[in-house]
Amino acid sequence: MSRIPDVKYATTVDGMRIAYEVLGEGTNCLVLSMNAGFAIDLVWDEPVVAAALARLSSITRLIVFDLCNFGSSSRVDAADAPTVQAWMDAFRAVLDDS
C-alpha cells in the first residue's frame, strides 16, 4: 500500500472519541473493528495485515476502527469497562461520521 490512511475520530453520544480510517471507494462498505490490542494506525507496520486490508479496500469501501479502550480510541476507567451497548454506540458513531 502506497499511502497509509489518515486516522479520523468520531464522537459517540457519551463523548467517547473513536479512531477510524477509511480506505477504498464504492457504495458498499465493509466495517472492521480492529481490537487486537494495537492501534489502527500501527497495523500498517505489519505487512500481512496491511496487504489484507489493501486487498479488501480494492473491492469495497473499507472502514476500520478501534473500539473504545483499544488502540487510538478513548480510554475508560477499569470500573467503567465498555459494555456491548457502548461498543454498538461506537460502531454507529463511526458509520455516521464516515
Domain 8-97 listed as CATH 3.40.50.620: no
How many helices (H) and strands (E) are present in the chain, helices listed first?
A: 2, 4
Say what the pTM is. 0.84
The position carrying cell 462498505 is 29
Cα 95 from Cα 53, distance rounded (Å): 18
Q: Is pLDDT of 35 > 70?
A: no
- Beta-sheet pairing, 61-65 with 8-11: unpaired
Q: For 72-98, what is the mean pLDDT?
A: 78
User: Which among 58, 27, 54 is positioned nearest to 43, based on CA atoms?
Assistant: 54
Residues 41-73: pLDDT tens digits? 888 888 988 898 999 999 999 999 988 777 777
